[in-house]
Amino acid sequence: MSIQYDIAIIGGGPVGAALALALRDSGLKVCVLEARSANSGSKDARALALSYGSRLLLDRLGIWDALHDVSPIRTIHISQRLSFGRAVLRAAELGVPELGYVLPYPALQDALTDALQHSDVAPIYGASVTELHDEADHAVISYQQNKVEHTLRARLAVVADGGKLLAQQFPPRVRDYGQSALITHITCSAPQSPQGGRRGVPGTSGSTLTQATTAFERFTPQGPLALLPFQNGFELVWTAPHQVAQDMLAWDDEKFLRELQLHFGDRVGEFLTVGKRTCFPLGLRRAPHLTPMPHTVLLGNAAQTMHPVAGQGFNMGLRDAWELAQEILDASPETLGTEAMLSAYCSHRRTDRETGIKFTDGLVRLFSNDLPLVSAARAAALSALDCLPFVKKFVAKRMMFGANG
């Protein structure tokens, strides 16, 4: 039977959609299988942290200027609770306009979906993939749409579904950190950073009102706490042991704000309001092989799901998509999905992937304890980072562009 598609992407989330857009107008026959129905907007209320490197990639995809409600990060303040150690990264000192951005997840998803629908990529909505296997020189994908079974074939199947499809067949390696992340939006009495302003950020309304532009990453014995500047306040990511996080969900607003004040301090003034709270468990989840079967490759969270500390997860997934697209575009049609092509992609991604995983995993394991000697060493390390410009630049570059940047 003839090949129906060159590339079939399973999952139309931001990473899968970014790959599809990077392949548009290439002459390749590309489809995206997405379980959501057509024109159903994202209902995910989370805010998403993007690095400056991700902005550049989204700009190349023609997406950046279509985004709205984008809040810039121009300073990152890193500290350890009850410790003298701290480091501050500033965009101006590193020669970039911003270190990163915070925006609503639906804004990115909707912009990518809209661009996809106006491209030569074939989106197949309402498609629930039930099976993936290989035959000869292609992958075979079975899916259900409107209660009808369908099958398609592709030279390369890209699994960007978050890791659900092949989890039982090829179990990922999992490390449970014993922590959950509580996420909510908070406002405070003194959110403005010294820099202030909203200059040059696509998608903003042009208002001259100042907003916070400093992100805070504070390490505590129970796990990291992050405040990300977003709209009229901050997006809070508060890490705690599972049961403690569940208890925090049940606190009334007054107690929650009081405990947050005790935990974080008054660097942004008094915490005033807290929004709806959600909670999810944290762990390191990684596929042992990026190519678990012939003519198949894993992408984004299907390849690796990391702790949110330092905000590396989605940014790495976007780099996965961009580099896979370059590998596909550089390949001759007859080599698409071959072992040689996929081996080259895995080789090119190995350093960035392994470094990113070890970086986030190391931060969690190193800082989530209150051992006195270790605490003193961490404080000294943060102070050294702040005093050594070349080390600070190296760390910031890795956070913005990955290990291959």
Here the tokens at position 186 are 């908070």
DSSP 77-102: EEEETTSS-EEEEEHHHHTSS-SEEE
Under the banding of pLDDT at 50, 70 and 90, the label for residue 203 is very low
247 with 109: CB under 8 angstroms? no
The dihedral over CA atoms of 392, 52, 211, 94, expressed in degrees to the nearest 10, equals 30
pLDDT digits (tens, 9 = 90+) for 119-155: 999 999 999 999 999 998 999 999 999 999 999 999 9
pLDDT digits (tens, 9 = 90+) for 9-26: 999 999 999 999 999 999
Under the banding of pLDDT at 50, 70 and 90, the label for residue 373 is low
pLDDT digits (tens, 9 = 90+) for 251-264: 999 999 999 999 99
Does CATH place domain 5-173+283-401 in 3.30.540.10? no
pLDDT digits (tens, 9 = 90+) for 57-81: 999 999 999 999 999 999 999 888 7
Which residue carries 């198949």 as its tokens? Answer: 296
Residue 163, pLDDT > 80, answer yes
d(CA 157, CA 133): 9
132 with 272: CB under 8 angstroms? no
Region 164-180 average pLDDT: 93
Domain residue limits, the chain: 5-173+283-401
Q: What pLDDT, on the 0 to 100 scale, is given for residue 2?
A: 55
Q: What angle do CA 195, 402, 53 make, to 5 degrees?
A: 50
**Range name among 106-110, 229-233, 302-306, 358-362 with the lowest pLDDT average:** 358-362
Burial class (CB in 10 A: 0-12, 13-18, 19+), 195: middle
Q: What pLDDT, on the 0 to 100 scale, is given for residue 120?
A: 96
What predicted TM-score, i.e. pTM, was given to this entire model? Answer: 0.90
Q: Residue 72: which of 103, 105, 93, 106 has the closest Cα?
A: 103
Under the banding of pLDDT at 50, 70 and 90, the label for residue 347 is very high
Under the banding of pLDDT at 50, 70 and 90, the label for residue 278 is very high
d(CA 31, CA 3): 13
